[in-house]
Amino acid sequence: MPSTKDIYLVIGGSGFVGRHIVQQLLDRGDTVSVLDIVQRYHDVPFYSADISDQEQVASALRRSGATCIIHTASPPAGLSDPALYWKVNVDGTKAVIAAAVECAVKKLVFTSSAGVVFAGSDLIDVDERLPPPERPMDAYNESKAKAEEAVIAANGKNGLLTVALRPAGIFGHVAFIHEDSSLH
């Protein structure tokens, strides 16, 4: 049986994690588009959208033909604006899920955070069954936990397969792409 390659839409593809994912997908020859509020690419189809607006996300999904969403959009940890975290991480993720179900997307990969289960002490030999603590570490991780809950609950809706990844301590080299396409 012939396999078909996925077509990717990287939500938050202009951010730190998203840019690396987009580059990896391009390097291996995949078809990839970016949905974000900041355009950093001139050689990749780009869709500017508010991820908390289901119709804007659905429009990008239809235009891109995406079969797999990689959702990396999030304000950075450490801000003092819980409402922004909730709008992007919770409302935005719910809108992404609804648009994915509406457009019959097959796969959704959500970037959560290891902080969603951190309760102040080392975690050893844990897996996805470990629930978030009753008192979240901060607004960022609380919003990521709520978004993760929605992603997991959406698994199987209209054939959508979902996964929530919990990376810890994301760091690395970053090159800034300026309007003139030069790297700095």
Q: Is residue 14 part of a domain?
A: yes
Largest Cα–Cα distance in the chain? 52
Q: Is residue 96 part of a domain?
A: yes
Q: Is residue 179 part of a domain?
A: no
Q: Is residue 2 part of a domain?
A: no
- Pinpoint the alpha helices (H) of the chain: 16-27, 54-64, 82-85, 93-102, 139-153
pLDDT tens for residues 99-146? 999 999 999 999 998 888 888 888 888 777 888 888 888 898 999 999
pLDDT of residue 129: 81
Range of the domain at 159: 7-165
Q: Is residue 184 part of a domain?
A: no
Residues assigned a catalytic role? 144
SS3 call for 36? strand
| Backbone φ and ψ of 107, nearest 5° | -140, 140
Q: Is residue 180 part of a domain?
A: no
Number of compact structural domains in the chain: 1
Q: Is residue 173 part of a domain?
A: no
Q: Residue 1: is its pLDDT beyond 60?
A: no
pLDDT tens for residues 63-109? 999 999 999 999 888 888 999 999 999 999 999 999 999 999 999 99
SS3 call for 123? coil
